[in-house]
Each structure stands twice: as C-alpha cells, then as structure tokens.
Amino acid sequence: MGTIDLRQLEEKFFLTLYEPENIVLTLPASDLLIEENLMRLIDTYGLLIKTEERSAAAAFFMSWYAGICSAMQHMLFRGDELLLDLSLSNVSVQLYAGDHYPLFSFKINEPRFREIPITGGDAWRKKALDSFYREHITPLIVTLSRLVQMSAIPLWGQIVNALYSQMEEELGEASDEKSRKMIDYPFQMLKWGIDASAFGLRKNPFDIKLRYIEHPTIPEQKKRLKTACCLAYRLNSEFDYCYECPRLNEKDRALKRENGHC
C-alpha cells in the first residue's frame, strides 16, 4: 500500500491534523449544512474581513474550501495509491487569526484512507469524483447559496478558479510532454466525465472555455481570465477589481497596466 504526503497536503491545500493557534471558530463541516451554523461562520468571518455583505464572505470562504477539492484532485491522480477521506463528516473547518488577516484550515478528524485500485482505476476515480461533489461539495454550496441569497454559479466559480490555477502551476513545473498529459488528463475527466447533476447544475461548471488576456508585465505571455469574480471589491475602499476579474472591461484593465495596479 502506498503513502500520502500529509505535509504536502497541509502546505498546498490547508489540510491538517492539528488545531492552529489563535483559533476563532471551529465547526464540523457537516454542521455547515445547517443554516444557523453556516450563518455563524460566514458572519464571524465577515466581521474579520470587514464586510457586512455575506455574499463577499461566502465567496472568500469558498475560495478557501476549494483547497479540499484541489487536494482530492491531487490525491486521485498523483500516484499516491491512497485517498484520504475528505467527506463532510471527517473534516472540521477552523477559522483562526493569522499575522495579517484571518485564515482557514481544514482538520482531518480521523486519518482514514481508501486504496485506489490498479485494475479499473479510471472508473473508480470517476465514481469517487462524482460521489465527492454530489454528496459533499454540492450540498454545502446549495446551503450557502440559499443562506446568502446569491447564485450558486459564482460560488462554484471560486472552486473552478482554484483548480485551473492548480493545473496551470503543475503544467508549468512539468518537465516533458508525457508529464503534461498526465496532469491534463484528470482535469479532462473532471470536465467531461462528471455529469452536471453531481454539481446540482444544468452544466458541469468545469466545462468552460478558458479565456486569456494580455499579461500585465510580460508582453509575450497571456494571463488566464478568472471564471468568477471573488468579490474582493466589496470588502472596503482599499480593494478594487482584480486584473483578471471577468467583470473588468478592457479599457479599465489597460488603465491598470499603465498605472501598475495589477
């Protein structure tokens, strides 16, 4: 049986077996399907990031929870041979005070693993992905969407942004074409192999055409446009639209490049 690099999961995807210092709030992830508990988390987090808009706090929270999805993708397709249980019942959401801003980590309540089979591995992975989203991610997004009275699409967009960024980072580190194909394949499975019903949507949210814009500092390169706005501009007057924000028009994006505000 293989092994899993828990330290890497902690560093890259915010998973941990421990409680951090300066803890503000801890809740079992399964409890977040109860609106009262989820509201407590979102409102507490909103106060810490200085926003009264629950939609902004919700989008920011999902950008953190996307680490769970990235970890799942990483484990399924990186040859670890084991899959750590990331079900709602085995994860606790930990909100704590960082040096400069509030942070989240996701405590694994019990280090339980399933072995990924060699024979029929692709079918097994596809089933595991479907179950993971259908039973553990979609219910959370549906509850959050209803609570903050916003569409589920931009909440899914935070996860899509995170996973495509993960893919780009790994492709950038790949040493040859074979490695790049091994990295691209699992994202193709997520994009084409999982039915939209697993996400509670009419269309698989990962099934998108990526759009690219002019890189702000490297003319010969392109930068990927985000799938959804992170709503950072709603926090306070110190924030504006990100350079990669899909809400930003090209005139304003060019102005950002000229002023070095990218």
- In this prediction, residue 61 has a pLDDT band, given cuts at 50, 70 and 90, of very high
pLDDT for residue 170: 85
> What is the chain's alpha carbon radius of gyration, rounded to the nearest angstrom?
19
CB 106 within 8 A of CB 92: yes
Q: For residue range 68-88, list pLDDT tens digits in order.
A: 999 999 888 776 688 999 999
Tell me which of 6-20, 139-153, 167-181, 186-200 is least confident. 167-181
The rounded mean pLDDT for the chain is 91
pLDDT for residue 261: 65
Q: For residue range 134-176, list pLDDT tens digits in order.
A: 999 999 999 999 999 999 999 999 999 999 999 888 888 888 8
Cα dist. 47→103, 105, 222 in Å? 13, 18, 36
- In this prediction, residue 53 has a pLDDT band, given cuts at 50, 70 and 90, of very high
CB atoms within 10 A of CB 66: 24
Q: Kindly report the pTM of this predicted structure.
A: 0.92
- The stretch 117-144 carries a mean pLDDT of 95
